[in-house]
Structure 1
Amino acid sequence: MKIKVVPSINVIILKNQTIPTSQNISFEQNISKSQNISSEQKIACIVSIQGTIGRLGNRMFLVASAYGLARLHSCHLYLELKMINELKSVFILDLSPLLISSSTFNSFTSNSSKSMNRISQNVACDYITTLTRPNAIPSGTMFELIGYWQSYLHFAKYDEELRQRIFVASQSVLEKVSNFFIQFYQRKRGYRPQFLLENHQSFKRQLSQLNSTTWIGIHIRRSDFVDLRFSSSDAYLFDAIKYYTMRYPNAHFIVTSDDKPYCKRLFRKQSNIFLTPGAYSIGDDLVILSLCQHSIITGGTFGWWTGYLAGGEVIHDKIYPSGCSRREYYYPPWFLIDGNVRAHKNTEYILR
């Protein structure tokens, strides 16, 4: 049987609550309205991201790390509006009460009476252990994150806040991806479920309670990784699929990829493997994988986040080099990796 590509369909979905989405400048205005001179005087330190780098996964690492450090050291948080708007097209991104507006932030950079000691830290991947020590970002400091902050240990203490308030699907994305599951159950199980889209976590619980199916998310990155020798083999993917199929007899798999033609060929004989629609955005793909109970992921930060947000078991291919000096800086202990990890591009150095 050929693999199915599930199209989007319009459906009426019951909701307990509507979560409003802020748009561009109005979001900035909402932050500004909640802040005044009195609140500015209480800002002891600021953790900031003033530029954008990489794609969605890298930016999520930056925001999560900045949030974790701001929470840890009782600082406020500043993100450029461009990054806020990009992430809010996918997520609720509730960063209150830490987030400050551009006008508040600029008042500290342009007013000498409010001047702060400015420090920037450029990180490629590693966990900067000194930043989690007391007073690592003292009062009167503006700390800027630059580069690729890809160690989850900078925000591990607040991972539930990231999963429940920040990197949770916006209402519009949640409605869109729910169509995928509604169509599946209607065609394959003969009934049309009525999901209450109260929020991301509620919908995920409802999916897990449908005992006829265990959903496994698969992310396959290939385009730029083939030449870099980071791409996963067919054998890795089928071994991982076999593991879950034996563990969960009702396992069904959702595949997202930057190379859908490859995936269609690879899984053409698998009746329980489905590709996301071609019209899905990168944010749609991330959200639908985060709703799965378990994960199979290849290299890259996008796949990392799908596994991290989904929870459950996560099988990660060891061929991908994290770039960190120690594998435990990048891979949470519940990522299932059998064997050593290559440390850097085009090297044989491994992380045990």
Structure 2
Amino acid sequence: MVKLAGPTLQYALITDSYYVDSQNGDINLLNTCVGTYCMDHAGCQLCNFPPNCTYGQDVQINCSANSICLSPTSAKLMAKCRFCWQIDQDEQDCEETKHCMSWDTRPVRTACRAKPTVYCMGRRTFFKNVRCRWTNGYSWSKTLFLSITLGGFGADRFYLGLWKSAIGKLFSFGGLGVWTLIDIILIAVGYVGPADGVSKNSGSNRLGELKQVRILPVGGSDVIFDQPWSITEVKVHKSVENAVNINKTQRYIVSTMSYSHGLGNQMFEYAALQYYAMKHGAILLFPSDCLLRRAFKALQYVEYVEADELYDYVERNSESHIEAKACCSYLPDLPLPDRVSIVDGYFQSYRYFWPSFDGEIRKSFQFLNGVRERAVNVIKTYSNGRTTVGVHVRHGVDITWHSRNLQHGHLSAPVDYYQRAFSTIEEQYGQVVYLVVSDNISWAKRNLPDGNRTLYFIENTDREVDLAILSYCNHTIISTGTFSWWGAYLANGTTLYYKDWPKKGSQLEKMVDKRSYFIPTWKEL
């Protein structure tokens, strides 16, 4: 591992980029160098930098081919002493990102790679925070202007290359104004963009240099501790270095918990990291702004570090950052070779904790008193001692209007699914009380079949309270997504789920292993 002491680099070895295989978790060397002239590509070489070289210093390095290559297979070269993540902007190519919004001032995280002619220490693929911008000549402000002035004729969508919907908009006169108004809103907030992929991070130099695009699970919002209840006070370390130096024999797993701000997504990530912590005898280091603190009393095996300091530490040590990008795979043997490992990922599989560590995970996910009291009050108000069934309806704009999420395979459960679920519940339990929570409660009110049923639609509550309500019900009808998944898991009763998620033939369907995602005792409809 490369060590840094002030501005001086103690020792280093350049290697090509490594990745975590989504199927078995093995770390593999990218095998793109075999049969080539390796000395023409820095990523196909192993280079020794002199010990104690100083950042920015010109030094001589000895390089040799790290694969089966054509001659020559060794060389002595001059290079600057620096990590790959320290190289200049024009020396790297960064991944296009389609999930960022060009209007947003907040940075997004993207993968970058040192160019073939650049020699540097550490992993050649690294991560950095960049700002979004539109590319290929598209202008967000121009699109918004066209939408406001000529949107009724479809000018905004013609400009973005969305010609099919533009024709429909033109001949319907902007949906008599309704479509035009909706488009103004969707363009303003970044949900509608160019047909070839809206946004690209500002760290990339050329469009299309790297084709891999990471689409995050949807849901969530910014981490803001403005909840109307008290959270658990915790000790916060000033830095990762301070935390790990308290006990130099203790192992640590550092995580940004930043793959998604969705509450259910973060619960999955924590559950898997708890598994790794138990397996390796490690302590988890999370940023102090981890949103799970808004919901739960105390997560086991977790200590906290000042958020900005932890993010800086991860960026400085990006060459050792292990990431599991596949959303729903089980990686039981993820290798953690270092005393301090950096791990992030989706880890959306029950197999990390059920049934072996069911008790441990339930102990961690104990709701804060303020959350619990609000949820219990709702249950008592509406149940009148009868059996309660929590119903989650996911029908927000992120999966009903967001074209890229829809193309990726996200979808909402249809009305007939809820009809069948109600009938199934009533056949087994008779007359029950349904408590409905939703990210679009007005849609749920208009569309859920009531008949002679007792349905209560819970409004104006925080998402932590919504999750607690689901978890305190006797049984659960879940929607698509991880939020209601966890509500059902914590409720531990009969659970019904929509079997046709993700969309058939989609990229998301290829990523999801349903056998590892849906607990076997749950019933599909």
TM-score by length of 2: 0.47
Aligned mates of 1:282, 1:222 — CA distance in 2: 15
> Is residue 255 of structure 1 aligned with residue 436 of structure 2?
yes
Q: 1:94 to 1:129 in 2, by over 3 A?
A: closer
**Which position in structure 1 is the counterpart of 2:296?**
91
**Which position in structure 1 is the counterpart of 2:364?**
166
**Which position in structure 2 is the counterpart of 1:60?**
267
Aligned mates of 1:116, 1:178 — CA distance in 2: 44
Structure 1 alignment gaps of length 5 or more:
1-19, 190-209, 339-352
SS at match of 1:100: strand
Aligned mates of 1:313, 1:299 — CA distance in 2: 17
Aligned mates of 1:275, 1:267 — CA distance in 2: 13
**Which position in structure 2 is the counterpart of 1:78?**
285
Q: List, as ranges, runs of 4+ consecutive aligned residues in structure 1 with deviation greater than 6 Å.
A: 35-38
Is the deviation greater in 42-51 or in 213-222?
Answer: 42-51
Aligned mates of 1:71, 1:117 — CA distance in 2: 25
Q: 1:315 to 1:119 in 2, by over 3 A?
A: same
Aligned mates of 2:521, 2:438 — CA distance in 1: 23
Query: Are the equivalent residues in 2 in contact too, given 1:31–1:101 (CA < 8 A)?
Result: no
Residue among 251, 266, 279 paired with 1:44: 251
- The one-letter amino acid of 1:56's match is L
Q: 1:336 to 1:50 in 2, by over 3 A?
A: closer
Aligned-pair CA distance for 1:149: 2.2
> Is residue 214 of structure 1 aligned with residue 387 of structure 2?
yes
Aligned mates of 1:178, 1:30 — CA distance in 2: 34
Query: Are the equivalent residues in 2 in contact too, given 1:116–1:140 (CA < 8 A)?
Result: no
Aligned-pair CA distance for 1:41: 2.1
Aligned length: 275
Aligned mates of 2:492, 2:238 — CA distance in 1: 31
Query: Are the equivalent residues in 2 in contact too, given 1:216–1:292 (CA < 8 A)?
Result: yes
SS at match of 1:247: helix
Q: 1:233 to 1:325 in 2, by over 3 A?
A: closer
Residue among 123, 134, 144 paired with 2:343: 144
SS at match of 2:320: strand
Aligned-pair CA distance for 1:116: 12
Q: Of Structure 1 and Structure 2, which has the larger fraction of its residues in strand?
A: 2
> Is residue 331 of structure 1 aligned with residue 518 of structure 2?
yes
Aligned-pair CA distance for 1:171: 0.6
SS at match of 1:42: coil
Residues 92-114 of structure 1, C-alpha deviations (whole Å, 9 max, x = no match): 1332xx223327x979x97xxxx
Residue among 500, 504, 521 paired with 1:319: 500
Aligned mates of 2:489, 2:252 — CA distance in 1: 29
Q: 1:180 to 1:71 in 2, by over 3 A?
A: same
Residues 283-325 of structure 1, C-alpha deviations (whole Å, 9 max, x = no match): 1111000011111111011111111111111111012116435
**Which position in structure 2 is the counterpart of 1:131?**
333
Aligned-pair CA distance for 1:333: 0.8
Aligned-pair CA distance for 1:119: 3.9
Residues 155-194 of structure 1, C-alpha deviations (whole Å, 9 max, x = no match): 333222221x221211111111222233235xxx5xxxxx
Q: 1:22 to 1:281 in 2, by over 3 A?
A: closer
Aligned mates of 1:22, 1:31 — CA distance in 2: 20
> Is residue 302 of structure 1 aligned with residue 483 of structure 2?
yes
Query: Are the equivalent residues in 2 in contact too, given 1:51–1:80 (CA < 8 A)?
Result: no
Aligned-pair CA distance for 1:38: 8.1
SS at match of 1:183: helix
Aligned-pair CA distance for 1:49: 3.1
- The one-letter amino acid of 1:92's match is K
Aligned mates of 2:495, 2:522 — CA distance in 1: 5
Residues 241-293 of structure 1, C-alpha deviations (whole Å, 9 max, x = no match): 111111112421111111111221234544411111x2211111110000111
- The one-letter amino acid of 1:232's match is A
SS at match of 1:101: strand
Query: Are the equivalent residues in 2 in contact too, given 1:45–1:76 (CA < 8 A)?
Result: yes
Aligned mates of 2:499, 2:244 — CA distance in 1: 51
Aligned-pair CA distance for 1:62: 1.3
**Which position in structure 2 is the counterpart of 1:118?**
320
Relative contact order higher in (CA < 8 Å, ≥ 6 apart): 1
TM-score by length of 1: 0.68
User: Identity of counterpart residues, as a percentage?
Assistant: 25
Residue among 399, 406, 413 paired with 1:225: 399
Aligned-pair CA distance for 1:239: 0.7
Q: 1:79 to 1:140 in 2, by over 3 A?
A: same
Residue among 288, 293, 303 paired with 2:474: 293
Aligned mates of 2:261, 2:245 — CA distance in 1: 36
Aligned mates of 1:255, 1:152 — CA distance in 2: 25
**Which position in structure 2 is the counterpart of 1:344?**
none
Q: 1:67 to 1:303 in 2, by over 3 A?
A: same
Q: 1:282 to 1:270 in 2, by over 3 A?
A: farther
Indicate the RMSD between aligned Cα atoms, in angstroms.
3.2
Q: 1:116 to 1:139 in 2, by over 3 A?
A: farther
Q: 1:183 to 1:161 in 2, by over 3 A?
A: same
Query: Are the equivalent residues in 1 in contact too, given 2:392–2:438 (CA < 8 A)?
Result: yes
Aligned mates of 1:106, 1:40 — CA distance in 2: 19
Aligned mates of 1:312, 1:182 — CA distance in 2: 18
Aligned mates of 2:455, 2:343 — CA distance in 1: 43
SS at match of 2:302: coil
Look at both structures and tell me which one has the larger radius of gyration over its CA atoms. Answer: 2
SS at match of 1:131: coil
Aligned-pair CA distance for 1:121: 1.8
Structure 2 alignment gaps of length 5 or more:
1-228, 503-507
